[in-house]
Structure 1
Amino acid sequence: MTPKPLENLLESYRAHLSTTRPDEKAPKIHVDEIASKVAVFYERMRSIIDYQEEHLLRKNFIGRTLRRRLLLKDLNLNKNIAEPLIKEIIRAGRLPNDTVSESKIGEVQAIIDNFLALTAALRQIRDPREEETYDWLIKVTVNAIEENLFPPVKDTMLSEFMFWTVREKLSISGLELTENEINLQLFMGIQKALLRVDQDQLTYRLLKFMYPDWNSLNAGNLEQIVRELPAIQVQLRKHLSHPASRYFFKLCNYFNTVFYLIGDMLDRGLSYEDLKTLFENDQALEQEIETAYSGRFAKQRSKLHRIALFSILSILLSKIVVAIAIEIPIDKYITHNFSLVNLVLNILIPGFLMLIIILSIKMPSENNFAVVLKEVKAICGFNGGKSYVIKAPKKKNLFTRTFIQLLYMTIFAACFYYLYLALVAIKFSMANIVIFAFFVSLVAATGVKIHNRSKEISMEQKKPKFSLFLIDIFAMPFITVGKWGLTALSRLNILVIIFNLIIELPFQVFIEFVENFRAFIKSQKDSLH
């Protein structure tokens, strides 16, 4: 018997296939091909220094473009925002040329007008947090525009399928949660683990859940909504930072591989009848899942290689820049303790350590597929179904918590103290030591991130090893510092700031000039009969 969530998925898939396709005769948005090639090249260069998931790169591009267009509007240089914004997205290769209907201009402009109306009402009530709220509204608007131009149809089908599959068989112990809290935390866990959304995207999707008509507010309730914004933000932050969220994420992150493979089956574009038959046939399903798993395994390995290469290059290049900008001037002109050997070691050791960590990371073994296949069959109604369990550990008493914290702080201090002694022994200066410790911490945290990414399609339950436990004990202080460092650096990526402030605005002005100039030349040529 086909489980109810799977039936709903198939019905959603059938509805999607029968959805009326866009009118091919409707006028489409066109951009100049030459200007587009230049813009695409720029975006590829930029993605090297700002490496992220494709959907996050796309969202961030829309955000930068919208902020720039709003600035030009404030300077009375261009009142129209939606059309040039969409054209920039097409020029950058984020949307195909000559396929986006001109009707999208009105839809996107309506979203922007909604934002402008909210910010105008915000200024009128003179809220002391106006700047913070303005920035929050921009982020919400960016996500609204992205979902309008890139409708997450498959993501919605897949996330709803995962939600109801897990929710129907979910049991929770050790946590006191209301039904609404369970639904919200499961929703957020799926968004983060399956769809890899960031905090801004998750905030927007939660906001839509609370205010389904957010993008079409009317003038009558604008002031009320604006006055409620602080309370809305507090409520959203409360849900996002809920103590139970990590347990839901862990559960969803473990089972996401199963739903990724179901999503890969949807991507094949089969007819509703063929897909339904596939889910009902044990042997055919197994063969299809094996094909999908092989493709995703190869894609994951390729992605890991790219991340690993970028991480090594990023560490080396960043270390060289820091050495030239900070270490050498301090050692030469302040402490007068410059050593070329120490400088070379300070540059090479973090990169070498990153290489060792990456080489130690392994993709899932051959046994993993059997585990994955069993789980896929379970959600499709074979093997007697599946149950999902969240079990929070019992809260430790005050004495135990205090003892563990003191022990960790002792290990933390000891790790950095003995590292300091080792570096002093080889004549490292204080500047060398601080920067070396910081970069080693960045390497440790980055290594953990890459290791976690390598387990994205892994469902094997490996036995813990005592040797790995010991390594974790003494690595955690560095990982903790590195995690903080990665968060800080993600906000202060100097190269990204340079691109945003110095390069991007004049570059986009130049691209528009090229497009307009080519249009002028073409019109002049066409006028010659």
Structure 2
Amino acid sequence: MQELTPSTQRLINRYQEWSRSLQPKEEVSTISVDEVASRVASFYEKIRGVIDWREEHLLRKTAIERILKRRLFLKKNLNKDENIAEPFIHELIRGGHFPNETIPESKIAETQKVIDKYVFSLENSPAPKKEKAKMYLYDWLFGVAACEIEEILSLSLKENALIDFMMEVMKEGIRIKERAGMPSINENEADTQLYIAVQRALFKLDEPTITYHLLRRWYPDWTNLPHPALNEISSNIYQIWKKIENALKHPLSEKFYAVCERYDTPYLILGDIVAQNPSAAYENLKNPDALESKIKEAYGLRLKKVRQKMSRAAVYSTLSIFLTKVLIAIAIEVPFDKYVTQQFDYMTSALSVIAPPILMFFLVLSIHPPSKHNEDLVIMEVMKIAYGKEKKDIYGIKPSPRRGLILNLFMGVFYLASFVVSYGLIVWGLQKLHFSVLSVVIFLLFVSMISFAGVKIRQRAKELVVEKEKDTFFNSLIDLFSLPIIQVGRWLSNQWTKYNAVAVIFNSLLDMPFQLFVEFLEQWRFFLKEKKEKIH
């Protein structure tokens, strides 16, 4: 029998608290919606999931934000006395984002309190110099509000426990190496960067969710702010926003993330083992042989889930790209080729539509599972975390060296040359296939976005990889010509998320009429039930 580290014991205790929180509570009234209306709404949300594709773990939060903003926008004024929380939660349950008859009715008041808090902060924020700043603040605030509402409706006790555990263990080994001429980083900044990196590595959390966690960390009373504190925060909201943005874009943030991303797998596996049976976790973990068996089992299950996620991501992203490409072809490319250039060709049009999804398919197909050696490394790392060891691992954080003006200029010119060559070859190939100028431009946009999406999916596929990857000359050559395309794809994807034309059509023309129909359907079915009850 081995003795567990104090950190591991605290993790087990918190998982046991999480397990107890899942037990059904007696005589608690829960929120219920009509099952037929729910099936209709859930089908609509699945269609939206294809059109406005997001990574799986962000789907619910994205839906909360979208529905919240729509319901607030439709109000003539943001009146604190107006209760939008109840219909808002009903819509979330009907859409399949939360299970029916599981959320206590008391959560309605809690959710309304959160909405009121963020509305108050927006209304009482100082007038900005630029009018657009208020609009950006609105987006930022209610992106964070969506995260807090998700936390209220589905507590993240287990996830928060694992984040704190990994941060506690990793903090002991973090060593920041200073470079001459580079600004130093104090302990609080280092802790913040580690906290951000752990969240990104473990659960791939996005900026609004991390922002919410930072606000809770910096303001311990954030979830229940007294009025004077809320007033003060509202007055300084732009400075708080700026402080968080600086933390998220810190020069060392990527260095911290790289370290945490490499070593997150053992923490995920240990968390899975404890979560399987928190009450028996002490006994299971103290026996090294039993622990090794549990590690192999948990590793196999997580590997299976990763493959399922990759398949789902590939299908949804490919479908989203395909549908959008078809719509663009029908609305823009075909009319342009027919009536402007008068060079319409069925084969060229078909190729421009099917080539992007095929590219995505092959990118996903090229993903390889981790090696057997990787599993052995995971077993060893989990053992080290659970039992500890006399010699602690050291994780070096080293700032990138500063390059001189001439070297920077040379690197910039070389990068620009690779950019021109990469896109030049594609353009040359498309011209040989008789693509029109507009079709070439649209094709390049889609190839760039698909390349970036493919890289993200490949990164997700490596979430269990602990072993260090080997750099080869061939990989370096591929990087040289693919990085410019991926960088452009990253920028385009960020813009696409903001301005997805198909999603805008859904939001502005279909969302509200459809929700009115679903609410009418639900009320009609309740009416029929009442009439039936009177027949006796």
User: Normalising by structure 1, what TM-score?
Assistant: 0.92
The separation in 1 between residues aligned to 2:498 and 2:204, in whole angstroms, is: 19
Structure 2 residue aligned with 1:236? 244
Alpha-carbon distance change, 183 to 474 in structure 1, aligned in 2, over 3 angstroms: same
Contact 1:36 1:91 in 2 (8 A): yes
Contact 1:378 1:386 in 2 (8 A): no
Alpha-carbon distance change, 126 to 24 in structure 1, aligned in 2, over 3 angstroms: farther
The separation in 1 between residues aligned to 2:379 and 2:66, in whole angstroms, is: 42
Structure 2 residue aligned with 1:4? 6
The percentage of counterpart residues that share the same residue type is 37
Query: Which sections of structure 2, spanning at least 5 residues, go unmatched?
Result: none
What is the aligned length?
527
Structure 1 residue aligned with 2:456? 449
Q: 2:146 aligns with which of 142, 146, 149?
A: 142
Contact 2:5 2:388 in 1 (8 A): no
State which drifts further: 309-318 or 150-159.
309-318
Structure 1 residue aligned with 2:511? 504
Structure 1 residue aligned with 2:47? 45
Alpha-carbon distance change, 58 to 221 in structure 1, aligned in 2, over 3 angstroms: same
Matches of residues 122-141 of structure 1 in structure 2 within 5 Å? 122=125, 129-141=133-145
- Kindly state the Cα deviation for residue 67 of structure 1 after the two structures are TM-superposed: 2.1
State which drifts further: 126-135 or 48-57.
126-135
Q: 2:344 aligns with which of 318, 333, 338?
A: 338
Contact 1:278 1:284 in 2 (8 A): yes
What CA deviation, in whole Å up to 9, does each residue of 1:386-433 have, x standing for no partner? Answer: 332323343233322221111111221233234333433443322232
Query: Does 1:459 pair with 2:466?
Result: yes
The separation in 2 between residues aligned to 1:201 and 1:177, in whole angstroms, is: 24
Q: Secondary structure at the match of 1:258?
A: helix
Q: Secondary structure at the match of 1:171?
A: strand
The separation in 1 between residues aligned to 2:82 and 2:61, in whole angstroms, is: 23
Contact 1:174 1:394 in 2 (8 A): no
Letter in 2 for 1:153: L
Structure 2 residue aligned with 1:81? 84
Contact 2:193 2:253 in 1 (8 A): yes
Contact 1:327 1:431 in 2 (8 A): yes
User: Normalising by structure 2, what TM-score?
Assistant: 0.91
- Kindly state the Cα deviation for residue 22 of structure 1 after the two structures are TM-superposed: 6.0
Structure 2 residue aligned with 1:67? 69
The separation in 1 between residues aligned to 2:523 and 2:366, in whole angstroms, is: 53
Relative contact order: is structure 1 or structure 2 higher (C-alpha 8 Å, sep ≥ 6)? 2
Q: Secondary structure at the match of 1:525?
A: helix
Q: 2:296 aligns with which of 290, 298, 303?
A: 290
Structure 1 residue aligned with 2:414? 407
Contact 2:126 2:235 in 1 (8 A): no
Letter in 2 for 1:87: H
Q: Secondary structure at the match of 1:46?
A: helix
Alpha-carbon distance change, 180 to 55 in structure 1, aligned in 2, over 3 angstroms: same
Letter in 1 for 2:276: R
Q: 2:442 aligns with which of 431, 435, 445?
A: 435
Q: Secondary structure at the match of 1:96?
A: coil
Letter in 1 for 2:451: A
Matches of residues 347-358 of structure 1 in structure 2 within 5 Å? 347-358=353-364
Alpha-carbon distance change, 420 to 62 in structure 1, aligned in 2, over 3 angstroms: closer
Letter in 1 for 2:5: P
The separation in 2 between residues aligned to 1:116 and 1:356, in whole angstroms, is: 46
State which drifts further: 20-29 or 260-269.
20-29
Q: 1:36 aligns with which of 7, 24, 38?
A: 38
Contact 2:55 2:313 in 1 (8 A): no
State which drifts further: 359-368 or 121-130.
121-130
Structure 1 residue aligned with 2:222? 214
Letter in 2 for 1:48: V
Structure 1 residue aligned with 2:185? 177
Structure 1 residue aligned with 2:376? 370
Query: Which sections of structure 1, spanning at least 5 residues, go unmatched?
Result: none
Contact 2:38 2:96 in 1 (8 A): yes
- Kindly state the Cα deviation for residue 451 of structure 1 after the two structures are TM-superposed: 1.5
The separation in 2 between residues aligned to 1:243 and 1:207, in whole angstroms, is: 21
The separation in 2 between residues aligned to 1:397 and 1:419, in whole angstroms, is: 33
Matches of residues 476-487 of structure 1 in structure 2 within 5 Å? 476-487=483-494
The separation in 2 between residues aligned to 1:258 and 1:18, in whole angstroms, is: 25
Matches of residues 153-192 of structure 1 in structure 2 within 5 Å? 153-174=157-178, 176-192=184-200
Contact 1:112 1:141 in 2 (8 A): yes
The separation in 1 between residues aligned to 2:22 and 2:493, in whole angstroms, is: 45
- Kindly state the Cα deviation for residue 329 of structure 1 after the two structures are TM-superposed: 1.8
State which drifts further: 355-364 or 414-423.
414-423
Aligned-residue Cα RMSD (Å) equals 2.5
Alpha-carbon distance change, 424 to 28 in structure 1, aligned in 2, over 3 angstroms: closer
Contact 2:418 2:484 in 1 (8 A): yes
Letter in 1 for 2:444: A
Matches of residues 376-387 of structure 1 in structure 2 within 5 Å? 376-381=382-387, 386-387=393-394
Q: Secondary structure at the match of 2:396?
A: strand
Letter in 1 for 2:252: A
Query: Does 1:255 pair with 2:263?
Result: yes
Q: Secondary structure at the match of 1:389?
A: strand
- Kindly state the Cα deviation for residue 352 of structure 1 after the two structures are TM-superposed: 3.3
Contact 1:49 1:496 in 2 (8 A): yes
Structure 1 residue aligned with 2:316? 310
Contact 1:114 1:216 in 2 (8 A): no
- Kindly state the Cα deviation for residue 165 of structure 1 after the two structures are TM-superposed: 0.7
Contact 1:186 1:248 in 2 (8 A): yes
Alpha-carbon distance change, 447 to 97 in structure 1, aligned in 2, over 3 angstroms: closer
- Kindly state the Cα deviation for residue 375 of structure 1 after the two structures are TM-superposed: 1.1
Alpha-carbon distance change, 233 to 123 in structure 1, aligned in 2, over 3 angstroms: closer
Structure 2 residue aligned with 1:269? 277
Contact 1:121 1:222 in 2 (8 A): no
What CA deviation, in whole Å up to 9, does each residue of 1:9-29 have, x standing for no partner? Answer: 123234445569563212222
Contact 1:73 1:79 in 2 (8 A): no
- Kindly state the Cα deviation for residue 40 of structure 1 after the two structures are TM-superposed: 1.9
Contact 1:442 1:479 in 2 (8 A): yes
Letter in 2 for 1:354: M
Contact 2:52 2:503 in 1 (8 A): yes
